[in-house]
Every structure is written in C-alpha cells, then in structure tokens.
Chains A and B, each alone.
Chain A
Amino acid sequence: MNTTGLLVFDGLLLISIVSLAWSALASPDARRSVILFMAFGLVLAVAWGRLLAPDVALAEAAIGAGLSGALLLVAVGEQSNRALQDNALRVSERNALRVRATLQWVITILCVALAATLAWALVHALDRATNERLAQIVSENLAASGVSNPVTAILLNFRAYDTLLELAVLLTAVLGILALGTARPDYQRTGPVFDGLARWLVPVLILTAGYLLWVGAHAPGGAFQAGATLAAAAVVLRLAGERSIGLPQAGALRVILAAGVGMFLVVGLTLLLLGRPFLGYPPAWAGSLILLIESAAMLAIAATLVLAFLGGRPPAIAVNEENNRC
C-alpha cells in the first residue's frame, strides 16, 4: 500500500491517543476528564482496528467507549456536586501537598521501571525462535477446539481456566456492588427525542448482542462483547426513565449473576464425573458446550455491568428483603 496516507494515519492516531490520555488525566474537572476518556476509548477502538485485531476492537468499542463512559459520568454526578467537592479539597490541600510530591516521585519511578520491564520483555520475545510461536500451536489445534475463531478457542477452550477465574473476579465485584446498598435514584422521564432514540436503540442493541454471541464461534465476537452490548441496552432503558430495565427479580437475578461461574463449574464437574479432565470437552461436543457456557457468561456479564451502573441493589431486591425482615 502507498505509505504517505498510512503515515499520516498512524502518526495522527498516535498523537491523538497520547494527547487524549494526557488531557484526560491532567484535566481539573472530573466531568471533562470523563468526556475526554470516552473520546479516548473511541480512538483506541480505531487503533485496535488499525492493528487488525477485531475482537479487541469490539471489546474496546463496547466496554471502553460507551459503557465505561456512562458508568463514570454517573459516578461523577451532576455539576452541583462539584462545588461541594471543591470547598472540601481546599481545606486539606496544604497538608496533602507535601506528602503528594514524594508519593509522585515514588510512583513515577515505579511506572518507569514497569515500562522498562515491559519493553525488555517485548524485545526479548521478538528474538525467540519462530517455531515456538503460540499462534502456530493454536492454529494447529484449532480444528479440535469446536470453534473456528482462534480467539474464542483460546478463551473458552485452551485457556478456559483463565476465563473461569475472570468470571469469578466479576462475581466478587458484583458482591461488592450489592453490598453498597440501594441503587441510585431513577432517571427522570424523558421527552420524545430520547424516547424515540431508545425505542430503536434498545432492540437493536439486544439483537446485536445475540448476534455477537452467535458469531463469536467463527468470527470476532463472543460473550464479553455481547454482554457489554446487552448491558448498554439496559443502561439506555434506565436513562430513558424506565423503572423495569429487564433485570429479573431478586432470586432469579442472583442465579444469573452466578451463572457465568456456575455454568463453567456445572460443565466442568459433569465432565469430571464422566471420566474426562475438568473442562476437557469431548471434541464432538466442544462447540455446543462452548456456546452454552458463553450464553451463561453473557447474561452474567451483562447483569454485572448493569448493577455497576445502577450503583447498588435494584429497588425490588431491597423491598423484598425489608418484607422478609418484618
């Protein structure tokens, strides 16, 4: 390909990423930082596309750009809270300054050390002989994995333990969220424009989530991206002022939240009982088992992200427990 256009592309992309990251961190206003962070996520998704990594680009677009932005915006809160925060800061600022300088130097040195270690590791890895590359091993064993997308094969088959543990981390996080108390207050009922947007956006997001889940077997996609897209649908519903956003009630919600880890365990233990290793799928069933686990994981991930956006227990759960108390 002609290189001038590509040079412009790569150069501007790099400058954009770095300057967005810098200004997002350096900005004094929290709300401004979040908007810059959202723009950063969008540009980063393009960067992943440039590196020809569609799975990561999907995840970045779904989670990094839209959903994280929404989560952070809600956390930062409305402008009126900012004035209160400013006054509180001024009082303790002077004491914090002295400590902060030393801490900054320590953190800077640690970050430089980390960057140097990563750079050394990268250079070292590029030197290794080509015949031990992981990509080759994966493509040789792809046929037996049950799917034809190498990323899904790695996540759900070759490295299934890692995914199991990641889902366990998500479950732990959700336990923390549930312990926060009741969810944030509802959103106001919105006007016709937002309603019109939500009316088509939510169904399209749900359909796209199902599509990503299904297509993940043979093309970029999978449970994480699908879960994030599904969560985005619920977030839009909530923003539109709907009380019921598709989250099931108390008991069913807990089942869904645990379903990611749960399905992994059910499949793994069943295989153990049948004499195979834990999560050692028989090649004939691998595809179906992977789809089963991914479906459960998608629901769990979506529910977790929605609860993170809600900021606590959904109101129905709180009411149920109050009824149980008296």
Chain B
Amino acid sequence: MTELVSSLMIVAGIGFYLAGSIGLLRLPDLYSRLHALTKADNLGLGLLAAGLALHSQDLLVAMKLLLVWLAVLAASAASAHLIARHAHRQEAGS
C-alpha cells in the first residue's frame, strides 16, 4: 500500500517537473517562464521527496529529504525573484 502511494507521488512529481520544463520552453517571456519554473521546484520536488520518504521508511532519511525540499523551496523563491528583478533592471537601463 505504501509502495503504491509512494510510486504515485513520484510519478506525479515527475509530471510536474515535465510541466515546468515544457512551460519554460513554450512560454513567451522571462517573467512568465519563472512561473513554470516554480511549479517544478515546489510541487515536483515536493511530491518526489514525499514519495521517496514514504519509500525509505526511515525517519532520518525522511528528515533529510524534507530539508532538501525546504532548501530548494526557499532558494528558488529568492532566486526567481532576483533573476527577474535583474532582468527587469537590465531592460529598464537599456
């Protein structure tokens, strides 16, 4: 049962990753692309990490996975904002 849930979560996570990459390719503008990017980071990695945590059945591993997810969340949120603001400044300057 846990295996089934874990597998479903992993597959769903990969789905969100793919959705994010396709969005990154197809969307017209840097600012819209960063929306696609954050879907991959939050949901994609989150579901992936949750599925792996269920699969591992080990508390220490699960905590490490949670830490990785939180780090990526906080880092990508700040990075996306900073990159977009940098690009906006470049546009405004030239």
> A residues within 8 Å of B by Cβ?
79, 193-194, 196-197, 200-201, 204
Contacts and interface: CB of A to CB of B under 8 A. Distances in A.
A197 B71 contact: no
Contacts of B81: 193
A201 B82 contact: no
Contacts of A79: 90
A200 B82 contact: no
Contact of B71 (A193, A194, A196, A204): A204
12 contacts: A193-B78, A193-B81, A193-B82, A196-B78, A197-B74, A197-B75, A197-B78, A197-B79, A200-B74, A201-B74, A201-B75, A204-B71
Task: Determine chain A's interface SS by DSSP, over half rule.
Answer: helix
Contacts of B71: 204
Interface pairs A-B: 9 shortest CB-CB: A197-B78, A193-B81, A193-B78, A193-B82, A194-B82, A200-B74, A196-B78, A204-B71, A201-B75
B62 to A, nearest CB: 18
A51 to B, nearest CB: 21
Contacts of A194: 78, 82
Given A193-B78, A197-B74, 11 more contacts: A79-B90, A193-B81, A193-B82, A193-B85, A194-B78, A194-B82, A197-B75, A197-B79, A197-B82, A200-B74, A204-B71
The interface size bin for chain B is under 10
Contacts of B82: 193-194, 197
Nearest to A204: B71
Contacts of A193: 78, 81-82, 85
Interface of B: 71, 74-75, 78-79, 81-82, 85, 90
B91 to A, nearest CB: 12
A194 B79 CA distance: 9
Task: Determine chain B's interface SS by DSSP, over half rule.
Answer: helix
A194 B75 CA distance: 10
A197 B81 CA distance: 11
Nearest to B78: A197
Contacts of B78: 193-194, 196-197
B94 to A, nearest CB: 9
Contacts of B75: 197, 201
A79 B87 CA distance: 13
Nearest to A195: B78
B55 to A, nearest CB: 15
Contacts of A196: 78
Contacts of B74: 197, 200-201
A200 B74 CA distance: 9
B7 to A, nearest CB: 14
A260 B93 CA distance: 46
A37 B92 CA distance: 27
A260 B22 CA distance: 47
A34 to B, nearest CB: 15
Nearest to B81: A193
Contacts of B85: 193
